[in-house]
């Protein structure tokens, strides 16, 4: 597996191994894809912001799941996500995105990273 290196992070932007991402991303066993939050948008009215819900492409096949909640920690996380992590025996770490990326390179760790607020 290629070692992931964050070369830059700013509000709404992250560069990993030379590739720039401007939307929320999911890192599943070293593979980066965009967060698919269409189903979660239905819950936006509750929070004023699209929350992370179990209806998304959450990369559960790991021992540790790190959720980056944005630069100001504003990403709402529904309780169902926390319950699902517990049910699956996945350690859940929830931090602001600039802190969450410090876990890159840790073994058996996957990510959901919110890049804005």
Question: Does residue 109 carry a pLDDT above 70?
Answer: yes
Question: Does residue 1 carry a pLDDT above 70?
Answer: no
Residue 33 Cα distances to 22, 24, 28, 69, 76, angstroms: 12, 9, 8, 17, 20
Q: pLDDT, tens digit, for every residue of 40-96?
A: 999 999 999 999 999 999 999 999 999 999 999 999 999 999 999 999 999 999 999
Give pLDDT, residue 3: 83
Query: Domains (ranges, CATH) in the chain?
Result: 23-113 (3.40.1230.10)
């Amino acid at each position: 597996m290629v070692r992931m290196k964050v070369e830059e992070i700013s509000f709404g932007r992250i560069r990993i191994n030379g590739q720039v991402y401007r939307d929320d991303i999911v890192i599943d066993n070293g593979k980066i894809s965009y967060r698919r939050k269409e189903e979660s948008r239905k819950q936006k009215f509750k929070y004023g912001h699209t929350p992370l819900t179990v209806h998304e492409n959450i990369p559960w096949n790991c021992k540790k799941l790190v959720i980056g909640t944005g630069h100001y920690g504003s990403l709402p996380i529904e309780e169902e996500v926390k319950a699902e992590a517990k049910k699956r025996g996945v350690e859940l770490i929830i931090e602001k995105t600039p802190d969450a990326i410090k876990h890159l390179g840790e073994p058996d760790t996957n990510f959901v990273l919110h890049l804005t607020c």
